[in-house]
């Protein structure tokens, strides 16, 4: 994929998603940190349901630490792996209290030293809370990078490095949220919504399924861009 096509992709994503941001509800950097830790192998929706009640009861490192393990588990028991996550959150809060004056640090090294915080979580905090141009590669960004050919790689780190190397600089700050939202709602794991996709003619996914009505309306498309792809009549629901 060349630089011109990459730029066009991000121009369209930015136009389609004018306010790219996390869907994890939070009122502070600390709340965001806890929400991200809890979101591992869980949905943002499920995390938000739990943290709405948790953060009303306790929303500082000391307050959550004071809940104790069982007290915290009471609030997050609907989230997968809640017991292990509760242990990490309590330990993380203790470390924030003891080593960081109850403040969330703003460097990768110090963030990744916190219990429950790995590279992906650190990238989310650095980008969302501190405005640093980092890319947190989750399941959506990994799939999207390899599927569209924006950033191919066999592992998360390889995909992250490819994104950082090739994303146009003017979109690097918002790229994480543009891509995660596009992957979550349009370029889904199963049955990607190619007919609703704003970059359908730019993406290099060889198995895309494009409704015929979409092709007729797509001014930027060429015979080459649709070669070998499946076209369906979406108005009748009949394959062609």
201 is catalytic: no
Q: Which of 85, 138, 201, 208 is catalytic?
A: 138
Please state, in angstroms and rounded to a whole number, the distance separating the CA atoms of residues 204 and 229: 11
Of 61, 62, 60, 58, the closest CA to residue 74 belongs to 58
Judge contact between 160 and 135, C-beta under 8 A.
yes
Q: Which of 45, 77, 85, 120 is catalytic?
A: 120
Please state, in angstroms and rounded to a whole number, the distance separating the CA atoms of residues 81 and 54: 17
DSSP character string of 50-115: HHHHHHHH--SHHHHHHHHHHHHHHHHTTSTTHHHHHHHHHHHHHHHHHHSTT----SHHHHHTST
53 is catalytic: no
Catalytic residues, by residue number, are 120, 138
């Amino acid at each position: 994929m060349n630089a011109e096509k990459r730029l066009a992709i991000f121009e369209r994503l930015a136009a389609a998603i004018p306010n790219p941001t996390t869907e994890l509800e939070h009122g502070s950097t600390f709340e965001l940190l806890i929400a991200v830790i809890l979101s591992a192998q869980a949905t943002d929706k499920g995390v938000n349901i739990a943290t709405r009640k948790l953060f009303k009861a306790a929303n500082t490192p000391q307050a959550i630490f004071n809940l104790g393990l069982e007290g915290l588990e009471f609030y997050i028991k609907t989230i997968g792996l809640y017991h292990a996550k509760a242990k990490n959150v309590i330990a993380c809060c203790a470390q924030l209290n003891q080593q960081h004056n109850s403040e969330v640090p703003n460097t990768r090294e110090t963030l990744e030293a916190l219990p429950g915080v790995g590279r992906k979580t650190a990238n989310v905090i650095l980008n969302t809370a501190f405005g640093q141009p980092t890319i947190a590669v989750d399941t959506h960004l990994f799939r999207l990078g390899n599927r569209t050919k924006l950033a191919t790689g066999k592992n998360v780190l390889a995909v992250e490095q490819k994104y950082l190397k090739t994303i146009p600089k003017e979109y690097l700050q918002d790229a994480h949220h543009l891509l995660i939202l596009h992957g979550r709602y349009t370029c889904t794991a199963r049955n990607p919504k190619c007919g609703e996709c704003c970059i359908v003619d730019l993406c290099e996914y060889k198995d895309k399924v494009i409704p015929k009505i979409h092709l007729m309306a797509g001014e930027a498309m060429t015979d080459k861009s649709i070669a070998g792809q499946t076209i369906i009549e979406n108005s009748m629901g009949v394959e062609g």
